[in-house]
Amino acid sequence: MSEDRYIYDLSEGDASMRSLLGGKGANVAEMAKVGLPVPDLFTVTTTACVKTMNNGGTWPEGLADEIAEALKRLEQRTGRTLGAAEKPLLLSVRSGAVHSMPGMMDTVLNLGISDESVKALAEESGNERFAWDSYRRFIQMYGEVGEGVPAHLYEDALAALKHERGAAQDTDLTADDLKALVATYKEISNEYLGGEWSSDPHEQLNRAVDAVFRSWSNPRAEVYRRAHNISASLGTAVNVQQMVFGNRGDTSATGVCFTRNPSTGEKALYGEFLVNAQGEDVVAGIRTPRQLHEMQEVLPEAYAQLIKTMNDMELHYKDMQDMEFTIEDGKLYMLQTRNGKRTAAAALKIASDLVGEGVITQKEALLRIEPGQLDQLLHPAIPPKHGKDPIATGLPASPGAAVGGVVFDADTAADLGGKGEAVVLVRYETTPDDIHGVIVAQGILTAHGGMTSHAAVVARGMGKPCVAGAQGIKIDTAAKTLTIGDRVIREGDVITLDGSEGKVYGEALELIPPQINEDFLNVVQWADDVRRLGVRANADNFEDASKARELGAEGIGLCRTEHMFMAQDRLPAVRKMILAETPEQRAAALEEILPMQQQDFEGIFTAMKGLPVTVRLLDPPLHEFLPNLVEQSLLVQRLELTDGDSGELAEARATLAQVKRLHELNPMLGTRGVRLAMLYPEIPDMQARAIIRAALAVKEREGETVGVEIMIPLVALSQELETQRAIVVAAVDDELAKAGQQLDYTVGTMIELPRAALVADKIAEHADFFSFGTNDLTQTTIGISRDDAENGFLTNYVMEHVLERNPFESIDVEGVGSLVEIGVEKGRQTKAKLKTGVCGEHGGDPDSVSFFHGAGLDYVSCSPFRVPIARFAAAKAVL
């Protein structure tokens, strides 16, 4: 076979080939290799899918022929023939992406069943019901996936028939019922497609393969990829596999199992199954399955074999496995295995336990942990004792607490949730179609479906609380009501979900702060042993600083001082300072502000004593401390109309004049940061004094103080920093002299303008450290305003893949990243040991942290809650 073939047979694959064969194909091949019973298959590569996508949907040359040949080989190996009236081969056509996307793409089961082969199937199995059940399932899946018939047309027909027969379950329908249903399904398909659909299994196979290719781009797959930063260009593989039948009667079954509990990480049996069913029933969340341990009684031999397989595969892959299996007439077949998706808590526990069991090393454990996932650990929790009674109970499908207003469809959830409202999505079943609503909802509640359904898997992966299969709840989507007993809950009514216990409360429970557990401390310690990059926090008050320290911050990388100016009780003094007409008046007003600033610094310095704290001098433009121009104009007008020439009017006019004077068309690029300090040197003088007095006071009181680092923002010219440094040094030295004390301190600058990065060698002459302000650097490098762009074109750019990520969330490595590298390099040309860090949103983004590590920075600084994430990300960057 040539190099650029598009198909691999089962025996040719293994786990290392996942980028070509997709995770599912590669892992099925691996299972075959170690001797596990898997149905035979061939895999169409991801390359074939990518070529098809890039070719406007046309298959690459030779693919159709290769499929025909691979099918012949499969027919030979199985001794069966597709579409034959005797010994027919039935196939499943399964998607299989490189990164698993549970339930987001399409699958067609029972392909090859036809008016001829259905009889052979019935005879071979001696089970007519089974044959017709398989047939109706095929038309339903193929019609929907391959030909685009709306699923509800079939579902409605099935529901109508069940209603007519008084059947509670699908399994209550007889062979004759199902035969009639097949006829109805054909009519539905014919009517919808105008007779234009293929009944030739070979043609159907090609169409099904093509449909799976296309399902890579369906909306839910797109939404899922965006939420998980999976590239849209990877494509999916397609597995064409012999069918095994879990719906062949009472000695047949299908199910899903996890080798450890994916919610908590505990080493305990976790799985679900259904007798006489096909796997879609479980994973699609249509029926609420039974607990796996019950299978021991029903199918003891297959059960024992499954348990052994679970243990073997976990050791083989050295990680928790999520497996799909089917039992046909008592014989077990494995259909899938993958490293199971899990909550952050489970990830930590499993990693920690596997190290304890000697299965993996600490380093491997760290590699397993997804830093971005860890913020789940920091969500508020249900208090252990609250004394409230649940209104309903279901399966604890994904742990955590969710409080929000009830909504009954994913679109509404996406709409309201997207606007920042807290919503709980309530659905009939747990389905991947709702993914866009799930992403923004606080939690999910369903009436049907189990804990191993795709939607539950997805919810756990995202840390969304989910209660599934809640008994006794009635959902009326049209009326938008949820009825439990005689309690009616309407859209917007607030409920609370406890996803750890599977409980639903008919009110908003008070939540408590999260508890950091032992596994976390264990594993994060390993991360600290490995990482080079320091991790600091952005904080500007005692509470945040304390939290940051508790979460492992090694200092404050950004303490903003403007918040200290904005407090209500300080505004009058601040305004007096701004309205001052002479430097003396201004100094007097600042004299009033100084003790207040000092008090704030004392709080932070107390929390962080022994660690460094970078204090940034005043950054925002002064108009931010004044009333809004329009409002002030209106006030003046109103006063002019009501009370002629009172003192109030004069004051309002004076303020208006000042507001007008300070008004700027483009304040982000205006008189702010160092520019303000150049105009009003009294401000940095006062701030430097407040910082030093606070540090001395804390040292006196606590016996120890922080490493004081004073930082000048928005510097573009080395002259700016030279001037400001002199002002700060003079003020500090004066304070120290007056106090008769010594204190080490440094003066540095932010690098947040492209020019500053480009002339960093000059700027470094006056700086003891650099801190890259990547928020402003992104705005000024790309030339986009953060506040405006996110409401406009930027979101669109990300949707359309003009940009893969929002550059304010994850650093634009090519552009902004280059400036960071230039800044570091030039800065260190001047001062080899120049300390460099980064502050801003990017400091808590794992991908950006990895970049900063590579760029040789000394530390990142992020919001206190993201500190643990940055610690892990910094370790991963080393590994």
* Burial class for 430, CB neighbours closer than 10 Å (0-12, 13-18, 19+): buried
Cβ-based neighbour number of residue 242 at 10 Å: 20
Q: Which of 18, 51, 80, 94 binds ligand ADP (CB under 6 A)?
A: 94
Which residue type, as a one-letter code, is found at position 42?
A: F
Report d(CA 21, CA 10) in Å as an integer: 10
Task: Tell the smallest beta-carbon distance from residue 847 to Mg ion (Å).
Answer: 21
- 81/791 Cα distance (integer angstroms): 57
**Of 180 and 782, which CB lies nearer to Mg ion in the complex structure?**
782
- The active-site residue out of 257, 559, 839, 862 is 839
Nearer to ligand ADP, 15 or 813 (CB): 15
Specify whether 559 is catalytic.
Answer: no
Smallest distance, ligand ADP to C-beta of residue 195, A: 29
309, 326, 352, 614: residue in contact with ligand ADP (rule CB under 6 A): 326
433 touches ligand ADP by CB under 6 A: no
Please give the torsion angle defined by the CA atoms of residues 408, 412, 417 and 422, in that order, rounded to the nearest 10 degrees.
-40
Three-state secondary-structure class, residue 73: helix
Q: Which of residues 9-48 bind ligand ADP (CB under 6 A)?
A: 39
Per-residue mark of binding to Mg ion, 776-805 (x: CB under 5 A): x-----------------------------
Reduce the secondary structure of 181-239 to three states and give it as a string.
Answer: HHHHHHHHHHHHHCCCCCCCHHHHHHHHHHHHHHHCCCHHHHHHHHHHCCCCCCCEEEE
Q: Which does 103 bind (CB under 5 to 8 A by kind): Mg ion, ligand ADP, none?
A: ligand ADP
Taking CB under 6 A as the rule, does residue 280 contact ligand ADP? Answer: yes
Sign, Cα dihedral of 115, 116, 117, 123: positive
Stretch that binds ligand ADP, among 92-100, 380-388, 747-755, 866-874 (CB under 6 A): 92-100
Query: Judged by CB under 6 A, does residue 144 bind ligand ADP?
Result: no
How far is the CA of 484 from the CAs of 286, 449, 476, 480, in angstroms? 20, 18, 12, 13
Taking CB under 6 A as the binding criterion, the range among 95-103, 216-224, 693-701, 833-841 that sits at the site for ligand ADP is 95-103
* φ/ψ (deg, to 5) at 480: 55, 55
Going by their DSSP bridges, the two strands 401-407 and 423-427 should be labelled as: parallel
- When the beta carbons of 39 and 840 are compared against ligand ADP, the nearer one is 39
* Binds ligand ADP by CB under 6 A, chosen from 53, 141, 283, 509: 283
Among residues 241, 321, 724, 848, the one that binds ligand ADP under rule CB under 6 A: 241
**Pair 42, 74: CB distance under 8 Å:** yes
If contact means CB under 5 to 8 A according to the sort of partner, which of Mg ion, ligand ADP, none does residue 776 touch? Mg ion
Q: Per rule CB under 6 A, is residue 95 in the interface with ligand ADP?
A: yes
Chosen from Mg ion, ligand ADP, none, partner binding at 773 (C-beta under 5 to 8 Å by type)? Mg ion
Per DSSP, the residues of 417-471 read HHTT--EEEEESS--GGGHHHHHHSSEEEESS--SSSHHHHHHHHHT--EEES-T
Q: Within 10 Å of residue 498's Cβ, how many Cβ atoms? A: 24
**Is residue 88 involved in binding Mg ion (CB under 5 A)?**
no
Alpha helix ranges (H) inside 58-200: 63-78, 117-125, 128-145, 151-165, 175-193
Residue 66 contacts ligand ADP per CB under 6 A: no
Among the listed residues 379, 436, 448, 454, the single catalytic one is 454
Pick one of 23, 773, 807, 843: the residue that binds Mg ion (CB under 5 A): 773
When the beta carbons of 118 and 458 are compared against Mg ion, the nearer one is 458
CB of residue 100 to Mg ion, shortest distance in Å: 8
Of 270, 264, 272, which is closest to residue 400 (Cα–Cα)? 264
Tokens standing for residue 809: 């969330």
Residue nearest to ligand ADP (CB): 279
Q: Does 109 bind ligand ADP (CB under 6 A)?
A: yes
Q: How many of the chain's residues bind ligand ADP (CB under 6 A)? A: 21
Residue 663: active-site member = no
H helix intervals, 623-759: 629-642, 647-662, 674-679, 682-702, 718-739, 754-758
Point out which span in 8-16, 88-96, 549-557, 754-762 binds ligand ADP (CB under 6 A). Answer: 88-96
User: Which one of residues 336, 362, 431, 687 is an interface residue with ligand ADP (CB under 6 A)?
Assistant: 336
Smallest gap, in angstroms, from Cβ of residue 109 to ligand ADP? 6
Residue 215 engages ligand ADP in binding (rule: CB under 6 A): no
Q: Helix, strand, coil % (nearest 5) of the chain?
A: 50, 15, 30
Upper half-sphere CA count for residue 227 (Cβ side, 13 Å): 21
Q: How many CA atoms lie within 13 A of 545 on its CB side?
A: 26
Residue entry with tokens 């390359």: 47
Nearest residue to 862 via CA among 436, 534, 403, 596: 534
Smallest gap from residue 440 Cβ to ligand ADP (A): 23
Shortest CB 104 distance to ligand ADP, Å: 7
- Complex with Mg ion: residue 340 or 404, whichever CB lies closer: 340
Interacting residues with Mg ion (CB under 5 A) = 336, 752, 773, 776
Interacting residues with ligand ADP (CB under 6 A) = 39, 92, 94-95, 102-103, 107, 109, 241-244, 254, 278-280, 283, 324, 326, 335-336
Give the catalytic positions in this structure: 454, 839
